[in-house]
Amino acid sequence: MEEMDAEPKQDVLPKREEESQKQTAEETVFHPVQLSRKSEEVSVEERTDESEIEVEQKLQELLKDISDETLQLREFLTEENRLMNELCTSIKQIMKKLSVSFDIPPRNIRVNKKIKRVILNEEGHLTFFYEKGEAHSAFLAEYPPEIVIAVLWVVMPKLAKVVITYRKKIRSRISLFKKLKSELKTIAKAVVGSKD
pLDDT (tens digit per residue) in 131-165: 888 899 999 999 999 999 999 999 999 999 999 99
Confidence at 107, pLDDT banded by 50, 70, 90: confident
This prediction's pTM: 0.61
Average pLDDT over residues 87-107: 93
Average pLDDT over residues 91-108: 93
- In DSSP notation, the chain reads -HHHHHHHHHHHHHHHHHHHHHHHHHHHS--HHHHHHHHHHHHHHHHHHHHHHHHHHHHHHHHHHHHHHHHHHHHHHHHHHHHHHHHHHHHHHHHHHHT--EEE-GGGS--SSPEEEEEE-TTSEEEEEETTS-EEEEEGGGS-HHHHHHHHHHHHHHHHHHHHHHHHHHHHHHHHHHHHHHHHHHHHHHHHHHH-
pLDDT (tens digit per residue) in 10-53: 444 455 555 555 555 555 554 444 544 555 555 656 667 778 88
Q: pLDDT at position 50, please?
A: 79
Average pLDDT over residues 127-134: 89
Angle (CA) 144-88-160 rounded to 5° is: 115
Q: pLDDT at position 173, please?
A: 95
**For residue 92, pLDDT beyond 70:** yes
